[in-house]
A and B are shown apart, each in its own frame.
Chain A
């Protein structure tokens, strides 16, 4: 059955491994994936612990639809207390690891403690072992995966692995799988490194019994057609996620030169069409690949071209996948670079080091602004001209940070807030972050709904937790009404104008539940109402869930699960010190959003800032929908409604 997979609690300090079932009651409350991971995190992490210490947990989770007939049931969630923010750390990656983990009999691996020496966890057909990782430690992301396959004699082993950046204690290191699938933003890799855990390797042959196979296949026909016929997915199948750049850079929605501008000018070389052209030239016409069970094929393949820069850094001809839209931001608009080889090299390096592309690009762009402002000098940079548009300096800094090989690299590896404390000189003023996590490369000064989204996102400034991205399409109000009035009624205001403030709190709230639900299911966000209004959501998931697992849940039931899990994440953050107006751990934007007008882009974007008062009002409205008080703390009646009133007192349900 799809519901019979288990949880393994692995204590690396003691070597003890407990295997526990997941009851139907727990399934109905949290489904799986990110939702159940949030509950496990809340119960297994010691409150107030050092995120890099043994009392933290790192939790690997497959969604409840992972490995089933459901489209794109590929996602792995990794959760921990984030060493960067001290709050919720959570990432989500595609690839093939989650299905393999399920084929091996498990949905969740909860790792506690710290191993005395490097180890890896081997999960194989119902058995979990802790094994010596001396042959894996120090290896790059891809080298380590091939090494474990060779060691165990099985080329089909799938891995969730950390890279050298995690081993060096960079606070924003990823968990990775395959060539480039990245569990970013959450610091899961950093926590693995702190525990001397190199990887979780999985291989399984335990069938997942589909509850209603014929109905599941029949429904798949229309479900997949719904997904692949969407224009957004057809475009993505041709150009990958970089296709988004065409829109956002056109109107001026990309933070450029850290946060000085909002559009990268004359950057034709790194536009998605140019990336696609090189991808085809370097690997052939069939240049797109996909994650488990996905028909969209949004991931490009490429080899690094032979250029002076690639020669200098010794990476000519190296193979990689992507780059994703986030790498365009991290290595193009944020540092003000416009060369394709730079983008492809940087993307390759972060994949091999296993570091978060958005955070490292953000840190380097911030340092570039500090350098140009005279806050960092040649003495600090070791003579490196850390100016915007300096491609070599950008690449060099990636090496320095990931290896912690220079004083500046060592400081920047600590993340923005700690680095700002060390650098001083009011450097914090230039840091663009929420909850201590660098903002991704989008510039939300002209998009209040998106600004609210990054402020309240549970893991820090982020686009994948609650972003009402379809707000950018100016959909007619009657279409918006249809989307946002299901599965719960909504008759409040809505606006087609993405520069407006009205109606946005509900949209953010709705999308927060939508994204939580899809992360519990373990399917891909690109298969839902993220970038396409006609893509599946709650109503469609109710059927997919039933046919594949036999679990009967209405769209409203799934919505309630998402509500519950979002509240658990919020409770975790509050327990770890989140306060709504705290500049370091709060749900507030930095002053630059309110004070510095956007200077580029479409005429209606030029001059835009976020109105502080309206932003505060939007946030208050969001809290109301979320069932929280004016400080963003869940009300007792909300906890009771969601069955969470005893979460602190009751023993763990798993």
Chain B
């Protein structure tokens, strides 16, 4: 079986288990939640995610921790608005 594996089959070795990806596009780092934990924080970028366990050892991101993600998004939006305003004034 192994000698005629297709490309897709050969990629099975790249699968990871017990981890989720950080959903922040510039990060996408691997996070290993504590077994059964309802939340996990990305050690790389600080984003925080709610976790659902499909089965033991198989976590997935359910959604953001709203308060954290809202704070980050609002800060970014305010910075963009300020930048736009400054550009407008310069022109």
Footprint of B on A, CB under 8 Å? 222, 226, 229, 231, 234-235, 238-239, 243, 246-247, 249-252, 263, 265-268, 271, 273, 446, 473-476, 479, 482-483, 486, 497-499, 529, 533-537, 539-540, 597, 599-607
How far apart are A649's CB and chain B's nearest CB, in angstroms? 40
Determine if A247 and B1 form an interchain contact, defined as CB atoms under 8 angstroms apart: no
Determine if A246 and B52 form an interchain contact, defined as CB atoms under 8 angstroms apart: yes
| Cβ-neighbour of B77 out of A446, A535, A606 (below 8 A) | A606
**Which residues of B in the span 34-91 have a Cβ within 8 Å of any Cβ on A?**
47, 49, 52, 54-55, 58, 60-64, 66, 69-70, 72-73, 75-77, 80
Footprint of A on B, CB under 8 Å? 1, 6-12, 14-15, 21, 23-26, 28, 47, 49, 52, 54-55, 58, 60-64, 66, 69-70, 72-73, 75-77, 80
A selection of 18 A-B contacts at a CB cut-off of 8 Å is: A234-B58, A238-B55, A246-B63, A249-B63, A250-B63, A250-B64, A251-B25, A252-B73, A263-B73, A265-B66, A479-B11, A498-B25, A499-B26, A533-B11, A535-B8, A602-B24, A603-B26, A603-B75
How far, in angstroms, from A249 to B64 measured CA to CA in the complex?
Answer: 8
How far apart are A591's CB and chain B's nearest CB, in angstroms? 18
- Classify the interface of chain A: helix, strand, loop or mixed: loop
Q: For A474, what are the chain B residues with a Cβ–Cβ distance below 8 Å?
A: 21, 25, 28
How far, in angstroms, from A599 to B70 measured CA to CA in the complex?
Answer: 11
Determine if B25 and A602 form an interchain contact, defined as CB atoms under 8 angstroms apart: yes
Q: For B24, what are the chain A residues with a Cβ–Cβ distance below 8 Å?
A: 251, 602-604
Determine if B66 and A266 form an interchain contact, defined as CB atoms under 8 angstroms apart: yes
Across chains A and B, the number of contacting residue pairs, with CB separation under 8 Å, is 119
The 7 closest A-B pairs by CB, nearest first: A539-B6, A250-B23, A474-B28, A606-B76, A602-B24, A604-B26, A251-B23
How far apart are B48's CB and chain A's nearest CB, in angstroms? 11
How far apart are A214's CB and chain B's nearest CB, in angstroms? 16
Q: For B21, what are the chain A residues with a Cβ–Cβ distance below 8 Å?
A: 473-474
Closest to A265 in B: B66
Determine if A597 and B25 form an interchain contact, defined as CB atoms under 8 angstroms apart: no
Q: For A486, what are the chain B residues with a Cβ–Cβ distance below 8 Å?
A: 7
Q: For B26, what are the chain A residues with a Cβ–Cβ distance below 8 Å?
A: 497, 499, 603-604
Determine if B52 and A273 form an interchain contact, defined as CB atoms under 8 angstroms apart: yes
How far, in angstroms, from A595 to B5 measured CA to CA in the complex?
Answer: 47
| Cβ-neighbour of A540 out of B1, B6, B12 (below 8 A) | B6
Known pairs A235-B58, A602-B73 / 7 extra A-B pairs, C-beta < 8 Å: A479-B14, A482-B11, A499-B26, A600-B73, A602-B24, A602-B69, A603-B76
How far apart are B78's CB and chain A's nearest CB, in angstroms? 10
Q: For B12, what are the chain A residues with a Cβ–Cβ distance below 8 Å?
A: 226, 229, 534
Q: For A539, what are the chain B residues with a Cβ–Cβ distance below 8 Å?
A: 6-8
Closest to B46 in A: A603
Closest to A229 in B: B12
How far, in angstroms, from A599 to B73 measured CA to CA in the complex?
Answer: 8
Determine if B25 and A540 form an interchain contact, defined as CB atoms under 8 angstroms apart: no
Q: For A497, what are the chain B residues with a Cβ–Cβ distance below 8 Å?
A: 25-26
How far, in angstroms, from A605 to B60 measured CA to CA in the complex?
Answer: 21
Determine if A235 and B60 form an interchain contact, defined as CB atoms under 8 angstroms apart: yes
Determine if B73 and A606 form an interchain contact, defined as CB atoms under 8 angstroms apart: yes
Closest to A475 in B: B14
Q: For B47, what are the chain A residues with a Cβ–Cβ distance below 8 Å?
A: 602
Closest to A226 in B: B9
How far, in angstroms, from A535 to B70 measured CA to CA in the complex?
Answer: 35
How far, in angstroms, from A235 to B15 measured CA to CA in the complex?
Answer: 14
Q: For B8, what are the chain A residues with a Cβ–Cβ distance below 8 Å?
A: 226, 483, 529, 533-537, 539-540
Q: For A499, what are the chain B residues with a Cβ–Cβ distance below 8 Å?
A: 25-26
| Cβ-neighbour of A482 out of B7, B28, B60, B75 (below 8 A) | B7
| Cβ-neighbour of B54 out of A235, A473, A498, A603 (below 8 A) | A235
Q: For A599, what are the chain B residues with a Cβ–Cβ distance below 8 Å?
A: 73, 77
How far apart are A114's CB and chain B's nearest CB, in angstroms? 46
Q: For A476, what are the chain B residues with a Cβ–Cβ distance below 8 Å?
A: 14
Q: For B73, what are the chain A residues with a Cβ–Cβ distance below 8 Å?
A: 252, 263, 599-603, 606
How far apart are B83's CB and chain A's nearest CB, in angstroms? 9
How far, in angstroms, from A475 to B70 measured CA to CA in the complex?
Answer: 27
Say whether, besides A234-B54, A246-B62, A499-B25, A597 and B7 are in contact (CB < 8 Å).
Answer: no
How far apart are B52's CB and chain A's nearest CB, in angstroms? 5
How far apart are B58's CB and chain A's nearest CB, in angstroms? 7
How far, in angstroms, from A557 to B8 measured CA to CA in the complex?
Answer: 18
